[in-house]
Chain A
Amino acid sequence: MNLAPANDPILEIRHVSRTYKFNGGLMKPAHSVKALQDVSISIERGQTLGLVGESGCGKSTLASIMLGLNKPDSGEVLVDGKPVLSLGPLQRSQLIQPVFQDPYSSLNPAFSVYDTLMQPLRIHRSEAQDRPRRIMDMLDKVGFPRQLANARPGELSGGQCQRVAIARALILNPPLLICDEPTSALDVSVQAQVINLLLDLKREFGLSMVFISHNLAVVEHLADKVCVMYRGQIAEEASREALFANPQHAYTKELLSATLLPV
């Protein structure tokens, strides 16, 4: 993986559009919502892309499309140079993994932490004797106490759950991580811990990341490049320094001025 040139894109989104159609009921007409309109983004290896925008601007739809869980109406997504929809589920999951917003609902309440991390290894038929060691190593790396490996998600705090979710995403060693607002449901102090953890892991594993958020301060801390989305379109795409120093688009300016800055 390290043999590839540094500016080779790990993820390329090409002219993706997605419209949601709603069948009308008996008394209301059918209507449609354009969630994404001609969105193109590319992320280089090892880069972190911050994706910012208000609620309902298409961020999460874009995340599902990147993960291959949702089909775009037109356009395509290339992961590591291959169209994501042409990959089988096993190949795809080795390249790209998600971390979701709600730490509680992203872990199955019926499974212990250990079983949660065991699932991906079972699905990918990894070496059976190797599994316990890989799980424990991964728990160490995300800073989750080993002695809680048999706990159920209901017994854990939000931050701990999110660490487990990150461990599950990383246990297959994917080069690309899609974080869909991974900190917005957490306490402020825990947010910082999780963000620092993501930064450490990014360095350790050489990860590329898409970091979706509506918190500009977090994005400024993490991202190399920032895309601002507005109503299903990319309003502005710039490097972090350029965007925060000199926003071009009117919506970006509005967003920046609306942010509460840490004192």
Chain B
Amino acid sequence: MTTLNTPIAAITAISTEAAPRRPHWIKRCRQNSILIGGGILLLMTLVALCAPLLSSYDPTLQNLDARYSLPFWMEGTDPAHLLGTDHLGRDYLSRLIYGARISLGIGFSVVLVAALIGTSLGLLAGYFGGKVDMLISFLITTRLSLPIVLVALAAVALRGASLTTLVTVLGLLVWDQFAIVARSGTLAIRHQEYIRAARATGASHLRIMLREILPNLRSTLIVIATLEMANVILLESALSFLGLGVRPPTPSWGLMIAEGRDSILFDAWLIALPGGMLCLLVLAVNLFGDGLRDLTGTEVKR
């Protein structure tokens, strides 16, 4: 009997001890994700804002004598260029720093445009219901059925690539999450008695949507905004990589990856550096968004 009992006791002892230990570091990471993500994001934003102070070279200045100068960890590096130079002899560190401006700038402005469009449409659909809802739901479904990259490619190809076109086209394409969340949130709220009470105190429809409903959707929409931003930054790089985003002399991480493609076998760091930065930024934004979601307790359905 004792021989039978001991293994069971041992197993239970192990399982009770092991249970809290395993997810400990995961839990730690989750709690800190908002700090880690937010910290990286803040650092990158500061670097992007202070770009002229931090970089000692003009990112578009060519110097054909100093082409393919190697970064500091390789042998034969030029101490004047910490991260080396590209195929036109432009300082790679300066280009990376200025590239952060493009990525973050486009990320912020596209999300702003998309949030504005999506939230207004979602509020209108949820609040008025009926025919308005039918029309806007149709718009949302139409938008969801369009492949973003393909449409953006077509639009940019037609209009010609420029920063404004890129922001407008992407802004017009990524509002769907905002619209869906704003609509379902409004639907849940609009029959609450405080909305009727607001109507009875003489509040207009616009006032009810903006002052009574929108504050209740705020935290969810902020979470959506961060997650969409990561998406947009990747899209910008993809389009720039394909040559339909940012125009060449302007430094963009996606464009830098495209320009480094020819020398991928010999100078892989030309691609690894902007690629790594892109990874880091998208990871940071995602961590920040996830952390915010855990913090505010809003569940985002994707």
Contacts and interface: CB of A to CB of B under 8 A. Distances in A.
Interface of A: 64, 67, 69, 88-90, 92-94, 96-98, 100-102, 105-111, 119-120, 123-124, 165, 168-169, 172
A120 to B, nearest CB: 4
Contacts of A124: 201-202
A204 to B, nearest CB: 21
Contacts of A64: 196
Nearest to A89: B202
A26 to B, nearest CB: 16
Given A108-B194, A108-B212, A108-B216, A97 B207 contact: no
11 contacts: A89-B203, A97-B200, A106-B193, A107-B194, A108-B215, A110-B218, A111-B215, A119-B198, A120-B202, A123-B207, A165-B197
Contacts of A97: 200-201
A172 to B, nearest CB: 7
Contact of A123 (B193, B196, B203, B218): B203
B215 A110 contact: yes
Sort A-B residue pairs by CB-CB distance and give the 10 closest, nearest first: A93-B202, A110-B215, A106-B193, A89-B202, A100-B193, A120-B201, A108-B194, A90-B202, A105-B192, A105-B193
A101 B191 CA distance: 13
Given A109-B216, A123-B207, A168 B201 contact: yes
A92 B202 contact: yes
Given A109-B216, A110-B215, A123-B207, A93 B200 contact: yes
Interface in B126-172: none
A123 B212 contact: no
B199 to A, nearest CB: 6
B204 interface: yes
A102 B193 contact: yes
Most buried by B among A67, A101, A105, A111: A105
B201 A105 contact: no
Contacts of A120: 201-202
A100 B197 contact: yes
Interface residues of B, number: 18
B44 to A, nearest CB: 32
Contacts of B207: 123
A169 B212 CA distance: 17
Contacts of A102: 193
Nearest to B207: A123
Contacts of B212: 108, 110
B211 interface: yes
Interface in B181-217: 192-194, 196-204, 207, 211-212, 215-216
Contacts of A106: 192-194, 197
A94 to B, nearest CB: 8
Contact of B201 (A88, A110, A123): A123
A97 B199 CA distance: 10
Nearest to A64: B196
Given A110-B215, A110-B216, A93 B194 contact: no
A123 B201 CA distance: 8
A259 B286 CA distance: 59
A110 B210 CA distance: 12
A97 B211 CA distance: 20
Nearest to B192: A105
Contacts of B218: 110
A231 to B, nearest CB: 24
Nearest to B218: A110
Contacts of B196: 64, 67, 69, 98, 100
B269 to A, nearest CB: 50
A165 B199 CA distance: 14
A106 B211 CA distance: 15
Contacts of B204: 89
Contacts of B200: 67, 69, 93, 96-98
Interface string B229-248: 00000000000000000000
B216 A119 contact: no
Contact of A168 (B192, B197, B215, B216): B197
A97 B200 CA distance: 6
A67 B212 CA distance: 19
Interface string B56-94: 000000000000000000000000000000000000000
Contacts of B193: 100-102, 105-106
B221 to A, nearest CB: 13
Contacts of A94: 202
A93 B207 CA distance: 15
A108 B193 CA distance: 9
Contacts of A110: 212, 215-216, 218
A102 B196 CA distance: 12
Contacts of B197: 98, 100, 106, 165, 168-169
A172 B201 contact: yes
Contacts of A111: 215
A69 B203 contact: no
A228 B184 CA distance: 39
